[in-house]
Amino acid sequence: MRVLGIEGTAWCASAALYDAETDSVLIESDPYEPDSGGIHPREAAEHMSEAIPAVVDAVVTAAETRHGPDAVDAVAFSRGPGLGPCLRTVGTAARALAGALDVPLVGVNHMVAHLEIGRHRSGFDSPVCLNASGANAHLLGYHDGRYRVLGETMDAGVGNAIDKFTRHVGWNHPGGPKVEAAAAEYAAEHAADGPEDLLDLPYVVKGMDFSFSGISSAANDAYDDGVPVEAICFSLQEHVFAMLTEVTERALSLTGASELVLGGGVAQNDRLREMLSTMCDDRGADFHAPEPRFLRDNAGMIAVLGAKMARAGDTVAIADSAVDPNFRPDQVPVTWRDDGSVAVGEGVDTPETRVTDRRGAEAVVDIETGDGDGRVIKRRVPKRYRHPELDRSIRRDRTVSEARITSEARRAGVPTPLVYDIDVPNATLTLQHVGDRDLAVAIDDGDAWVRATGRHLATLHEAGIVHGDPTTRNVRIADEPQSTPEAERTTLIDFGLGYHTGHVEDHAMDLHVFEGSVRATATDPEALIDAFEAGYAAVGDPTVLDRLRDVEGRGRYQ
């Protein structure tokens, strides 16, 4: 099978031919380069209308020269997400070409194509995928027939956040390569002096999600205050990419996956790739980043996924092929694969495995058996991918916060482990061992556990406390005694991202984080989420659930 792909979601007009027999890809691209500032949608659409016919003609000519008049078996196009005027130009070209060649038409989700090209090139089965591009930053994983969103930005895409700073200092689009070059220059100048100085910029991780708007504004303010631009670029990268890497590690921990692929234009950044590779090495996970031509927006990934979809019979009639600027990756039925899952189901403590080191996203946990429930030694290990100064600050602050808020939550009536000891210099806590398994392992066992979790979070919020990271990995459940209600056998753990607030927005974000972890790994997530919200409503403030609906709408392409 040979498939011609057409890409044009925002800035790059591209066409490609994928030959499945030889696994070869020919790509022709013509990127839009604005005279100043960022992407101007009208100018980008005008560029598409001029460039798409040229790149398509070049690929069709090459295909027919090599393979004859029947060179193309299907036409695939980027159906979304993206800029509407650009997508409509691409859609029109794809429909016309499919009609002229009398071949099937395939509508491809641009973000799923980023994931699938990484999976295809790596040979991985069910990896977590970090998509880091101009308009996006999110983590995806396959489970039960769809790619689930494991975490995502709650405001700007990572590339757009960086571009906001570069526009402020007067640099043209794309700003990412300029920031990378300036940061490398700063690091080289200070290499002989030990670790480079780091500006104090916002570092915002919200469970499995993240936010970039504050760090862009802080970088702009630093520039206005006269801080050298190279120093800002260095600190901006160190913070932003550490946030992405941390949340990616959280996704690996949540799912139990041991494979990671990287996609998106920002993925061309050497520092980001270095951080992710280091993190995976330390976890014993496999990491793959495709070659640069498959990272930036390109038609090659559209053609490769288009071939898989066409082979599965997943084509679209021309009458039903309207583009969708808000086409989320978790809306795509995955027809081209029916096995595997990113959720591999770790987290059970058995008599054979209870005395062991378990590695979470942040810490190594040594579970010691003994009289009673035993103890847990939780050590926040240094993260080699993070700047040493930033790493020390995060480990210290989260250790102190976890010890304090765990105890305060317990006094408020929420089941939590007892805190026996804290060693701040070594970022280590000694805690009571609780439960038999993580909720992530038992997520499909019924709704009682999630209902109890909802009640506990409501009680926590009524006391003015936010958990910060209430995923299904941070809820422990006890199987015995059966006569004890589930609420008393459900315990919240890991308050390292917790803080005090009575604000409804922060409470709603807690619920959003938990529900995201359920959607990422459960077979029937909506029924569980209904039970969770019913448990919350029985105890908590109803305005929090109202605000949750607003928070849900802030994900990309809602």
Residues marked active site are found at 469
Q: Which helix (H) or strand (E) holds 121?
A: helix 110-122
**Are the C-beta atoms of residues 90 and 232 closer than 8 Å to each other?**
no
Dihedral angle computed from the Cα positions of residues 403, 512, 160 and 119, in that order, rounded to the nearest 10 degrees: 100
Strands 259-263 and 128-132: parallel
The DSSP string of 504-558 is: HHHHHHHHHHHHHHHHHH-SSHHHHHHHHHHHHHTTS-HHHHHHHHHHHTTSTT-
Distance, CA of 202 to CA of 407 (rounded, Å): 27
Distance CA 368, CA 280 (A): 27
Instruction: End-to-end CA distance of the chain: give it in Å, rounded.
Output: 35
Measured CA to CA, the distance from residue 379 to residue 387 in angstroms comes to: 19
Both structure tokens of 380: 């926040």
* Residue 359, phi then psi, degrees to nearest 5: -100, 120
| DSSP string across 298-311 | -HHHHHHHHHHHHH
Phi and psi at 148, nearest 5°, equal -90, 145
Its sign, for the CA torsion 323, 326, 329, 330, is: negative
Tell me the one-letter amino acid at 502.
Answer: G
Cα separation, 557 vs 82, whole angstroms: 9
Read off the tokens for 505.
């927005």
Count, residues in the chain: 558
How many other CB atoms sit within 10 Å of the CB of residue 100? 10
Q: What span, in angstroms and rounded, lies between the C-alpha atoms of 37 and 346?
A: 47
What is the SS3 assignment for 236? helix
Q: Which long-range contacts (CB under 8 A, 24 or more apart) does 60-68 make?
A: 60/4, 60/15, 60/97, 62/17, 62/26, 63/2, 63/4, 63/17, 63/26, 67/2
Long-range contacts of 395-403 (CB under 8 A, 24+ apart): 395/427, 396/424, 396/427, 398/362, 398/427, 398/496, 398/497, 399/424, 399/427, 399/428, 399/429, 399/496, 400/424, 401/495, 401/496, 401/497, 401/498, 401/499, 402/429, 402/494, 402/495, 402/496, 402/498, 403/429
Alpha-carbon distance of 511 to 539, in angstroms, equals 14
Alpha-carbon gap, residue 475 to 207, rounded angstroms: 13
Q: Are 455 and 534 in contact (CB under 8 A)?
A: no
DSSP letter (8 states) at residue 266? G
